[in-house]
Structure 1
Amino acid sequence: MLEKLKRFFNRERVGPSEAGALLVNSWLDVAEWAGACRYHFKRTRDGQGFVVDASFEGQPWRLEWGPSQRPYIDGHELRLRMELMLPSGLQMLVLNRVLLESLENESFERYTEVNQTQVDVSTSEEMRWVALFAASDLATQRSLKPHFAALSRSPAHVDAWLQGALTAALTRTMAAAMKPELPFVLLTLRGRVYMRTALAQPAPAVLNAMASLFTTACTEALRVSKSNFVEGTPSEAADTSKLGDASTAWPSPFKAKK
């Protein structure tokens, strides 16, 4: 298996750059990890990143690594998403406090400089939510409070999401695979769960930890969606071939950030 992967990467190597060759060859471990998990690994056409298609309890989900699509992340980022047909009213956001402070400052500067009275729809979902949504006081998740913030149309929704397994998974992943100074976002939007974080090098151990956190978040989002206090109808199932263009939360794969 390893020899086949080496031949594949050598054949598909993009450009003469030795640094580029080392980067591509460093994905051999990622491809092996994906294969061991029975996931499907493939490189992007431009050679700047890769995609891993997977499934969890029968539901497909996708992991991407490549150039950042968000101005608040420099370099490369890790992105994960799953379509779950969650109720349209279930809009929840968890992010680390470093990113929250950055988005709050940027949002304040953006809207006060031009005297705007409405939120600019061209900004990212994360910035709009920081400006519009109520924050949870995390009263029942005090272990998260020094490191994370949580926002939602209904704080009760995000509090329920963070109860139990998700808080434990965040705490565990923070210790093993997260750097508190790097941006991290976990959100539900338009029936899907998304996760995004800065990641310079896609080490298999980090990918595995992030994938575990993500699937836990998906399981817990489904649990919350079945609660009787969640309003809205289930979102329509999306064509998975068009997921990249379906929402500003997830632009076209590896589209250059503005």
Structure 2
Amino acid sequence: MFEKLKRVLKPVAAPPAEADGLARWAVDRMLSHHRLSNGATVAEGLLLDRPLRAGCAPSSRPYIVGVELMARAELGLRDDVSIIVMHRTLKRALEKAAGKVYADAVSQVQTTDRPLPEELMWLSMYRDAGWPGPTPDFWARYCVLTDSVEAAREWLDGDAIDSLCDAPAELRPVTPFLIALTRGKVYLRLQMEAPDDGLVSHYALDTLEQLSARALKLFGR
């Protein structure tokens, strides 16, 4: 089933990306960083006085091909709040993949004890929320999955919406990209589609930092 999922989601291959952007971002925030034997860069330390781990490495996720920029901010938030912001094109790709996986399982009367990837579970657990305020361009580019529209509206205030709308042109709307607040943490997932001069990676990591700071203010324990 998971091999079928990978085939459905696999986009056009992207060129490898260098991880220098992540290293420079880490230095600016006094985080430690090191290069692994496979060429990946890992950065870790305290951001907003909370543990952060980030990496730029070959992707193991079926919906990201080539190199993935990932980060996890251990914020210790309330665990009853889940809000996922992702490119709408990624949601459509995940929906297509989920439909194919379920159809194949039913037609072949297959069962598995292995859980579905979390990204597919989000589609069934949370609704695609919307509210007045953000521009049509924002809603055309992004979807917001949540079970609490009120919490999502608080978290994605005007400044956050502006930041998400101010993505550099190099970060295309069709690029797999998401920031998720769930299980008391904030996560970043981004497909790197070109050698990283810092423009795209710094934007994504800065946005993660901004949304993490707001999450601490609103949902910290």
Fold in common (TM above 0.5): yes
Q: Which has the larger radius of gyration?
A: 1
- 1:77 matched to 2:71: no
Per-residue displacement from partner, 1:43-65 (whole Å, max 9, x unpaired)?
12x32311112433322312200
Aligned mates of 1:221, 1:182 — CA distance in 2: 25
Letter in 2 for 1:188: L
Give the aligned partner of residue 191 of structure 1: 184
- 1:182 matched to 2:175: yes
Letter in 1 for 2:200: V
Aligned mates of 1:81, 1:29 — CA distance in 2: 17
Q: Is the 1:55–1:61 contact (alpha carbons within 8 Å) kept by the matching residues of 2?
A: yes
Task: Considering fraction of residues, name the structure with more strand.
Answer: 2
**SS of 1:114's equivalent?**
helix
Q: Is the 1:77–1:196 contact (alpha carbons within 8 Å) kept by the matching residues of 2?
A: yes
Per-residue displacement from partner, 1:124-163 (whole Å, max 9, x unpaired)?
2111111221111243223410100001122222222212
Letter in 1 for 2:27: G
Give the aligned partner of residue 219 of structure 1: 213
Aligned mates of 1:193, 1:29 — CA distance in 2: 20
- 1:156 matched to 2:156: no
* Long gaps (5+) in structure 1: 1-22, 227-233, 235-258
Q: Indicate how the Cα distance of structure 1 residues 111 and 162 shifts in structure 2: closer, same or farther if over 3 A, else same.
A: same
Q: Indicate how the Cα distance of structure 1 residues 80 and 176 shifts in structure 2: closer, same or farther if over 3 A, else same.
A: farther
TM-score by length of 2: 0.80
Which deviates more, 122-131 or 191-200? 122-131
Give the aligned partner of residue 102 of structure 1: 93
**SS of 1:66's equivalent?**
strand
Give the aligned partner of residue 43 of structure 1: 35
Q: Is the 1:136–1:159 contact (alpha carbons within 8 Å) kept by the matching residues of 2?
A: no
Aligned residue-pair number: 201
Q: Which has the higher contact order (CA 8 A, sep 6+)?
A: 2
Q: What RMSD in Å do the two structures reach over aligned CA positions?
A: 2.6
Matches within 5 A, 1:1-258: 31-32=23-24, 34-44=26-36, 46-115=37-106, 122-142=115-135, 143-172=137-166, 174-175=167-168, 177-200=170-193, 201-225=195-219
The alpha-carbon deviation at position 112 of structure 1 amounts to 2.9
Letter in 2 for 1:98: T
- Paired-residue identity, %: 24
Q: Indicate how the Cα distance of structure 1 residues 212 and 31 shifts in structure 2: closer, same or farther if over 3 A, else same.
A: closer
